[in-house]
Amino acid sequence: MFDSHYLPLINGEFTAFTEETFPATDATTGERLAVITRSGAAEVDAAVAAAKAAFPAWSATPAAERAKLLLKVADWLEENTERLVRIDAHDIGRTVFELPQDYRQAIGQYRFFASAISTHDGWNNVTPGGWAIAKREPLGVVGAIIPWNVPAIMVSFKLAPALAAGNTVVLKPDENASLSTLELAKYLAEIFPAGVVNVVPGFGEEAGAALTGNPDVAKLAFTGSTEVGRIIAHAGASRLVPVTLELGGKSPNIVFPDIDDIDAVVDNVTFAATFCNGQSCLAGTRLFLHDDIYDTFMEKLVTAFRSIRVGSPLDPETRLGSVVSPKQGERVLKYIETGKAEAKLITGGERVEVPGHEAGWFIAPTIFETTNDSTIAQEEIFGPVLSVIRWNDFDTMIEQANDIRYGLASGVYTSNLRNAMRTADRLQAGQVWVNQYVNLVDGSPFGGYKESGLGREVAKETLDAYTQLKSVMLAEQVPPPFYV
């Protein structure tokens, strides 16, 4: 399933200029899965140079030909989903139950942008004595940096639009989740011209810094924490190159008292807070629950949380695996201790031991009753921890839902159209999901307000961020003499 050693993909070849490596370890057993060459400035600079050299030919390749290759990537992922799911389960501790959805979404991205590029152009218009034309052109070398929580999705979010638009790419996966990306890189090296796609695994302070600072990178695309996003934004600003950022979140999930099926809403609220082991920037981690149904809903919600099966990510019956690393586990437990001091712990709140997986940091699904100004309600925990906030006044609830530095996603549960529309209109979030949390659809723009980022992904508008407009004015003839 794994190679013993993975190298960076540079100019169509797997090569490196250093003998330094870092281990890929099983998130739950601590077993070494493979070693990965630790890319630094030398590897990154070589990858950027290769991407720059490949750009003229790739950007001149007809969009239909670029689309064919993206469709091949989608087909390969579809054929290899089962194997890649198991790799990710080992690498990052997420369950084989939910990981297939990552690959379905990633496959959809490659197919969507393969189609979208065929209609992504500028405009033209007749002017007196000629034509005015605006044409879209690719930017050049894209430096893309992705996180560890959903590697298949993150790779597709960056590669699909960038390549469809005619850019070349240098991609840095996270050091905690490189294996499935490097497995994909083997296939990318087979089908794309040398230098079009380059993959440089490594650490942020080395490979990431070298990539963001390279003067030949024409665009930066980053998904990760807001704190690192600021660093990326400063790097882009210093060189005046465009930057897109998909950053953190602390999303409100709002339940109105008029819901028709309380059990179905409880199930979806539970999913919203715990999928991806709670390690998702768009997770619904602030639950605004109305007074009129509070006690009944909470009783069912606690039962649902306590019934979640925590265990080996490789067990198809497991619904919650381990967080990605000891560092992340300690971070989550520290927030839980803070919550115990300032809020009311309802259930969970501890590390769970799973036989045979003692190295894994399994966190019991956790619920706190709290207020919106508490630390655990305001800061992104990135673990299966839900803050429940009671509400009874609509305006106050909306004010609190928006009283956060983030604005990535949100949820609303109601059977009343007016409630849905007025809530969606007033929420300061890039996504509002009504009656189904994480209702992601190919072509629907995804991105955040406020400190949750800049730009939109997943949609046709994304192609605008990977291209620039050139105006061409065509006149029938040279105008009459002006100075004579």
Positions marked catalytic: 246, 281
234, 245 in Cβ contact below 8 A? no
Residue at token pair 């040398």: 194
How far apart are alpha carbons 432 and 442 in whole angstroms?
15
Backbone angles phi, psi at 319, to 5 degrees: -115, -15
Q: Are strands 453-454 and 243-246 parallel, antiparallel or unpaired?
A: antiparallel
| Tokens standing for residue 418 | 């007016």
Q: Are 146 and 176 in contact (CB under 8 A)?
A: no
